[in-house]
Chain A
Amino acid sequence: MTWRIVVGLKKNVKDARGERVRREIIDHLNIDLPKVQTLDVYTVDATLSSTEVEQVAAGPFTDPVIQEYAINQPLASDFDMLIEVGFRPGVTDNTGRTAGEAIQYLTGRPFATGEAVYTSTQYLFSGLTDKRVAEEIAANFLANGLIQYWTILSRDELDPQVGVPVTVPKVVSDKAPTVRSLSLQISDEELLDISRQGMLALNLNEMHKIKNHIADPQVVAERQKVGLGDQLTDVELEALAQTWSEHCKHKIFSAKIEYEDENGNFQLIDSLFKTYIVGATEKVRENLGDKDFCLSVFKDNAGVIEFNRDWSIVFKVETHNSPSALDPYGGALTGIVGVNRDGMGTGMGARLIFNTDVFCFASPFLDKELPPRLLHPRRIFEGVVEGVEHGGNKSGIPTINGSLVFDDRFAGKPLVYCGTAALMPRLLNGQPCHEKEVLVGDHIVMTGGKIGKDGIHGATFSSEELHAGSPVTAVQIGDPITQRKMFDFLLIARDRGLYNSITDNGAGGLSSSVGEMAEDTGGFELHLDRAPLKYPGLQPWEILISEAQERMTLAVPADKLDAFIGLATEMDVEATDLGIFTDSGYFHCLYEGETVSYLSMDFVHEGVPQLVIPAKWEPKKLQEPDFAQPADLTDELQQLLSRLNICSKESVVRRYDHEVQAGTVIKPLVGVANDGPSDAAVFRPLLDSFEGVVVAHGLCPNYSDIDTYHMMACAIDEGLRNYVAVGGDIDHVAGLDNFCWCDPVESAKTPDGRYKAAQLVRANQALYDYCVAYSVPLISGKDSMKNDYQIGDNKISIPPTVLFSVIGKIDDVCKAVSMDVKQPGDRVYLLGTTSDELGGSEYYARHGELGSQVPQVDAEQALLRYQTLNRAQQQGLIASCHDLSDGGLGVALAESAFAGGFGIQTELSYVDVAAPVREDKLLFSESQSRLLVTVRAEDEESFETLFAGQSCCCIGQVITQPELIINGLHGQSLIKVPIENLKQAWQAPLREM
């Protein structure tokens, strides 16, 4: 029988969750209700005695100090409207799983097949009587209809005997597993129909390639030997669609690009990836010679570089944009736990040490009607932040670096970048840990979660723009604890030498993981019917491509199989033997002994035809704005500090555990009141060593509207500038690029494809030029190329955005530097030249202008500056160091001052300029490669000696008086304002988020 256990707080216990919901309903929907209470509901679909149910309710489900419960009757009282929100069938219900385990511990009896616990939440509203308003609250705030259902009952409608009617969201399927065969000898229109209807995202060219392959008599003859023929099975078609998807194959970055520049010069680029990204890294490594610190680049789930003699660092950053647009919480949660698997799945596996996150949203305060299927940016903000919070915190991985960037075009698709660093020994049982190889005869073992329909077509879906038919199965919810348990197990299995290779199951599921691992041996035999399922009724093709979370695939030698599975069982981790790696040359899947796929490995991996993309660069005709210098620059500065791209993100940072593992040396928040904005993070991964990892990033989509070449250059410089500001060693730093673009392939839907493709080319050219100039190898990266929204004529494309993450080391974390000024009397220096470069700046944006003079980077001078700064840091000469970015010198001065709790007095006339610049522009120019440094008076001479011959000007000093005093070019008072006012302006906008 089904039991419904409702748990609520006792009278007089504060309902913090209910109160938070109440406040957020005001913020999100502008509906002010006097009271919201919350109850937890457990629907137990299992055979239990009434005594056992009583024990379960009173034991693990209820906290006797503050809670009470009811079984099979309502607990709700004192309300006007009730909304109960539960999960739809098949959606991951972590609490339900834990509740089920608790019952089994208590009774000592395992659940029978199909028995389960389902959770839901009851919200009780006072002062709400209109059902339409209740519906709005449910649909637009409490629940996401894609993954949740809700029940609304007014007080009168709630049956006092039984309460809310029981819903058991069990997946019920009477479909027997079958394999369909498709003839592809059909018209082009029909071929495209198959692709469209099946959510395969295969174009006509690709469908032809498959059609021709399956028509080859030799292929047919081989297929007949295993019981197949001249028709393709659905398993095969789905596997090809996954493997050939933009998401997995990066077809745009691998395309031939016919590029024409502004002068009409043509260039044929055979793969942006190989030419510019791999090309830059090869050049840098060649230049570094025996100082090359790269260990594994581009070939694995993440990049690996040297940390010291005994350890190496693993780093990867992913995007999870499309799922986050549909379900911000689940999308972001799977984003972070997904990239964690990349770290674990690199080489032979690594211990995760920290996460990074960068989000690009539209303003959470956006006040306009949104097109269909788009969630309000505030909901996206809240959901994504909570998803990453749960993913990171529950995994025990500190989130130590990140940022939030706003542009209203991100309403079309939010960008959710999640990064993870990990640490691995240089040698594992005598072999390099960053290398692995599957051997013929190794068993294919899947560990972690079970397979459900979640995430089916995730890879193909994210290879398309968001449209009305975007599939709900693409949405998944991660389970950090199941994954954590698996990682605990895998590190032990790794150290015991129980496997030969490991990779994660991400996009494309088993199809991708097994398919890629089998490239080592040249084939595999995978028995799909052996895979553990969350519920019955999955078709063989669904098992193959499901992206159900928390799974890794391993190659386990036959003689280690028992030990491997035994350890897993003991540590309560699922591990299943699914087949073997072979050298047959075939992508061979079976279901109950019958062959259901038999494709040659070469065709699967090399068969995808190369795209040809036209690109034409035409610089936009832009002009500098024409407005007079505002009279009140104090107000201008405060307004800038309150802009979303500049203001404090403390409310978000505090929700992320940024100190777990006890390694965070430079934290995200620093200064006298622990609330100043750090430029980068320094992390000590080994508790008995003072060597540190430094991580930072740069991102400036605002410059893309002028020229993506300079956008890319500025992002690289910003990343390195942040890195070096805290003391990162500029000679030991690697980069990682994440491109998020709007569709750059010219078509009816994308008439401006040539321009967007040219923007992509230019960004790549800058990536090459500046990585080589700075000697920064790229070690890994990812691209997400369809960040558009299109329903009907309504199209929103994001601005071209590249996140440039950097990771490297500092030999002694005790030499790290924070950005807050330290004491009155310290000299304030500005390193670097300031020019009239406000194109795309926050200052112009505030005045509704774009401008044309985008900042340009002089890498040669910047590199010398950064190297010299490193020496000054080594000698202990730097009291504080802060990079200049959005809002320029004015914002940097304000932030350094209020973070340190002291004033600064400064003269603009001392600022180094190449040509005369107006005062407001001097203050707010975003010229690159500049740093604001404070130096103790006694170190002044040594510091200036180090920087002799470089752009280095003492522009003022730190003062006791808590005011920012900026004098103009003629010595006149330009700004004089208490630092407390500046801090308030900076903290106010997102304080309550």
Chain B
Amino acid sequence: MARTVKAIVISGNGTNCEDAVAHACRLVGATADIVHISELLGGRVKLEDYHFLHLVGGFLDGDDLGSAKAGANRLLHARVAGDVEPLATRMKEFIAAGKLVMGVCNGFQLLVKMGLLPAIDGHFEQTCTLTNNDHGRFENRWSWLKVDSDSPCVYTKGLNGLYLPIRHGEGKFVTDCPETLHQLENDHLTVLKYADRDLHPTLEFPDNPNGSQNAIAGICDPTGRVFGLMPHPEAFTHRTHHPRWTRETLPDEGMGLLLYRNAINFIKKELL
């Protein structure tokens, strides 16, 4: 048996980045299955057969009750056929088994609202949220991101900065209290921060497109294996994705792939 990293990308109910995420995984050598949520709820596909779970961007249930709220409710309560537990329990087991979970944009919102991020001290309760951008509108723009190089995040090892597109209306990161924010920062769980061109984190629009507390764009859990971010790494896998590729000299490979490659390397080393 070849030792292959197996990624699962969940789709349905309004996801729309599954193809791009699966493609990014394949580019760095993983196999990737796009699995409709009904396959999981029907019990025909099992999370435990995979190493790398992706919750992708989109508008779960239209974000009608607030971003990913109805989606979180489904995973927390909908029964899986032939199983007494909801899908959320299987996700927690997946994390406990040392596997990787990555949530981008709506997937990040989903992780936070299910309480799977930041899960400080192992408590799966919601302590943070992503809410309306300060200017009250959807925004599509490219952002510079400063990486916390002291973070336990396995995805960002060796990285200093990133340049990726954001595309959201509810990306403002807020914590429930100053203590949570303090602990996130202290534990270096605030992996990515919106920054200016010189990679200084900023609260100023448009470099900080949504008014996030402490300019936070992405966080991980204390294990560093569960990672959520508002920017879209799957949307920068080739130089022609870059908004200025016609005027700048860029490597063929886009910066977003670095995150996926780190994850795959970690899995190969730790899980295969």
Interface residues of A (CB under 8 A from B): 13-14, 16-17, 19-20, 59-61, 63-66, 94-95, 97-99, 101-102, 105-106, 108, 389, 393-397, 479-481, 484-485, 488, 570-572, 653-662, 664-667, 669-672, 674, 684, 687-688, 690, 813-814, 816-818, 820, 822, 900
Contact = CB atoms under 8 A, between A and B. Distances in A.
B16 A670 contact: no
In the complex, the 9 A-B pairs of residues with the closest C-beta atoms, listed nearest first: A396-B16, A20-B136, A98-B64, A65-B129, A662-B20, A60-B73, A16-B132, A95-B64, A818-B246
Given A485-B13, A820-B247, 9 more contacts: A59-B76, A65-B126, A393-B138, A655-B137, A655-B139, A660-B57, A662-B20, A662-B237, A674-B243
Contact of A389 (B20, B66, B138, B176): B138
B234 A662 contact: yes
Most buried by A among B11, B133, B134, B247: B247
A665 B240 contact: yes
Interface residues of B, number: 66
B14 A481 contact: yes
B136 A19 contact: yes
Given A63-B66, A108-B77, A481 B176 contact: no
Contact of B246 (A63, A653, A687, A817): A817
A818 B77 contact: no
B68 to A, nearest CB: 10
A488 B35 CA distance: 12
Interface in B117-150: 126-129, 131-142
B79 interface: yes
Given A63-B69, A65-B126, A65-B174, A656 B140 contact: yes
Given A95-B65, A98-B61, A396-B58, A661 B244 contact: no
A63 B170 CA distance: 13
B140 A659 contact: yes
Contacts of A816: 240, 246
A16 B74 contact: no
Contacts of A105: 73-74, 77-78
Contact of B65 (A99, A661, A674): A99
Given A64-B126, A394-B14, A571-B12, A674 B244 contact: yes
Contacts of A672: 244, 247
Given A108-B79, A662-B234, A393 B59 contact: yes
A97 B14 CA distance: 15
A246 B211 CA distance: 50
A14 B12 CA distance: 32
B247 A657 contact: no
B85 interface: no
A101 B14 contact: no
Contacts of B237: 662
Contacts of A102: 61, 65, 69-70, 73-74
B129 A488 contact: no
Interface in B61-98: 61-66, 69-70, 72-74, 76-79
Contacts of A66: 129, 131, 174
A657 B61 contact: no
B113 interface: yes
Nearest to B23: A687
Contact of A488 (B11, B211, B245): B11
Nearest to A55: B77
A818 B247 contact: yes
A16 B134 contact: yes
B38 interface: yes
30 contacts: A16-B131, A20-B135, A20-B136, A60-B65, A63-B69, A63-B129, A65-B175, A66-B129, A95-B62, A98-B65, A99-B64, A99-B70, A105-B78, A106-B73, A394-B14, A396-B15, A396-B17, A396-B59, A481-B14, A481-B59, A481-B61, A485-B14, A571-B38, A662-B19, A671-B244, A674-B142, A690-B240, A814-B240, A816-B240, A822-B247
Given A60-B69, A63-B131, A66-B129, A661 B36 contact: no
Contacts of B23: 662, 687-688
Given A20-B135, A66-B131, A94 B126 contact: no
Contacts of A59: 73, 76
B264 interface: no
B261 interface: no
A480 B58 CA distance: 12
Given A16-B132, A394-B14, A674 B141 contact: yes
Contacts of A101: 61, 70
Contacts of B139: 654-655
Contacts of A688: 23
Contacts of A14: 134, 211
B110 interface: no
Contacts of B142: 674
A61 B234 CA distance: 31
Interface string B223-243: 000000000101101001101
A659 B164 CA distance: 11
A11 to B, nearest CB: 13
B230 to A, nearest CB: 13
A690 B245 CA distance: 14
Contact of A106 (B59, B69, B77, B235): B77
B218 interface: no
Most buried by B among A13, A395, A667, A669: A667
B160 to A, nearest CB: 22
B239 to A, nearest CB: 9
Nearest to B59: A394
B165 interface: yes
Nearest to B12: A488
B259 to A, nearest CB: 14
A378 B246 CA distance: 36
Given A674-B141, A687-B23, A659 B165 contact: yes
Contacts of A656: 138, 140
B138 A669 contact: no
A479 B14 CA distance: 11
Nearest to B125: A64
A484 B14 contact: yes
B6 interface: no
Contacts of A481: 13-14, 59, 61-62, 64
Given A94-B64, A396-B58, A481-B13, A670 B73 contact: no
Contacts of A690: 240
Nearest to A813: B240
B34 to A, nearest CB: 10
A680 B14 CA distance: 28
A431 to B, nearest CB: 25
A17 B141 CA distance: 20
Contacts of A572: 13, 38
B42 interface: yes
Nearest to B127: A65
B167 interface: yes
B172 to A, nearest CB: 8
Given A481-B13, A672-B244, A16 B73 contact: no
A657 B234 contact: no
Given A396-B58, A485-B13, A571 B136 contact: no
B17 A94 contact: no
Contacts of A670: 243-244, 246
B66 to A, nearest CB: 6
Given A654-B139, A655-B139, A674-B244, A60 B70 contact: yes
Contacts of B16: 395-397, 484, 660-661
Most B C-beta atoms less than 10 A away, residue of A106, A397, A481: A481
A933 B59 CA distance: 41
Contacts of B165: 659
A653 B73 CA distance: 33
A59 B242 CA distance: 40
A822 B247 CA distance: 6
Nearest to B210: A16
A61 B176 contact: no
